[in-house]
């Protein structure tokens, strides 16, 4: 693998693991057994590394969120979207941690991230709309739909932060099970809009995303 790609990968790993703020360019270089000078030969700054990582993240999510053409959406599609997106968020979890700071210090990233958000919101709306076409969700007024889509986005993007901040007492790590509860939370928002035909199916599907390991949560 090219050194440039190694730097991106190692940075992502270290950022996710220790938090970007605690990872310096020296750490990244040391972790790869290369010199800091070499790292700076490939990247002009740490900001540039973060930008590269964002580009990959964006590519991944755009890929996950492709809509099938020429057929209706199914419940399986919907679940696939949810699972993949949470997976993507997990793989790049450092990114949303100090997102505001990155946008403050990188003009390009600010512009690109804004467009990324808008693209995602449009896609969420499109998904909801096509779930209506498929008779899974009821039709609702357009403004209400926009607002719903935005709430989905807010819940999805804040889920990891919630887990990290609310569970991290005994240094206990976030498990795949907890991550899955994010799917549960999104489904909760859509339950009132399910058609009678689909309600029971979705309700029992949802139960699979309520992890048993989150006992503390159910004790609240």
Q: How far apart are CA 196 and CA 33, in angstroms?
A: 60
Residue 72 interacts, among a second copy, DNA, none and using kind-specific CB cut-offs from 5 to 8 Å, with none
Based on CB atoms, which residue is closest to a second copy, 33 or 218? Answer: 218
Shortest spacing between CB 13 and DNA, in angstroms: 16
Binding footprint of DNA, residue count (CB under 7 A): 19
CA atoms within 13 A of residue 202's CA, in its CB half-sphere? 26
Contact positions with a second copy (CB under 8 A) in 71-100: 97-100
Q: Output the six-digit token pair for 20.
A: 């970007």
By CB under 8 A, residue 204 contacts a second copy: no
Contact positions with a second copy (CB under 8 A) in 107-136: 110-111, 113-114, 117-118, 121-122
By CB under 7 A, residue 72 contacts DNA: no
Shortest spacing between CB 180 and a second copy, in angstroms: 13
By CB under 7 A, residue 105 contacts DNA: no
Q: How far apart are CA 18 and CA 155, in angstroms?
A: 24
Binding footprint of a second copy, residue count (CB under 8 A): 49
For residues 41 and 72, is the Cβ–Cβ distance under 8 A? no
Q: Output the six-digit token pair for 63.
A: 């890929």
By CB under 8 A, residue 38 contacts a second copy: no
Q: How far apart are CA 46 and CA 62, in angstroms?
A: 24
Cα 6 to Cα 12, 40, 53, 61: the distances in Å are 10, 13, 12, 21
Q: Is 106 helix (H, G, I), strand (E, B) or coil?
A: coil
For residues 136 and 198, is the Cβ–Cβ distance under 8 A? yes
By CB under 7 A, residue 46 contacts DNA: yes
Interface residues with a second copy (CB under 8 A) are: 19, 21, 97-101, 103-104, 110-111, 113-114, 117-118, 121-122, 143-144, 146-148, 150-151, 153-155, 157-159, 161-162, 164-169, 184-185, 188-189, 191-193, 210, 217-218, 220
């Amino acid at each position: 693998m090219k050194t440039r790609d190694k730097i991106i990968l190692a940075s992502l790993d270290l950022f996710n693991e220790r938090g970007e703020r605690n990872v310096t360019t020296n750490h990244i270089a040391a972790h790869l057994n290369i010199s800091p000078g070499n790292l700076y030969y490939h990247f002009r700054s740490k900001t540039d590394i973060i930008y590269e990582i964002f580009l990959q993240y964006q590519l991944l999510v755009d890929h996950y969120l492709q809509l099938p053409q020429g057929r209706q959406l199914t419940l399986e599609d919907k679940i696939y979207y949810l699972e993949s997106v949470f997976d993507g968020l997990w793989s790049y979890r450092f990114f949303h941690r100090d997102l505001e700071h990155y946008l403050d210090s990188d003009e390009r990233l600010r512009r690109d991230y804004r467009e990324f958000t808008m693209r995602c919101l449009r896609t969420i709306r499109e998904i909801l709309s096509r779930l209506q076409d498929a008779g899974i969700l009821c039709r609702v007024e357009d403004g209400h739909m926009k607002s719903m889509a935005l709430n989905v986005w807010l819940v999805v993007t804040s889920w990891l932060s919630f887990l990290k901040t609310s569970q991290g007492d005994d240094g206990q790590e976030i498990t795949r099970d907890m991550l899955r509860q994010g799917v549960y939370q999104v489904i909760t928002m859509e339950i009132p809009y399910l058609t009678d035909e689909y309600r029971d199916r979705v309700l029992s599907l949802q139960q699979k995303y309520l992890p048993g390991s989150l006992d503390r949560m159910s004790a609240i």
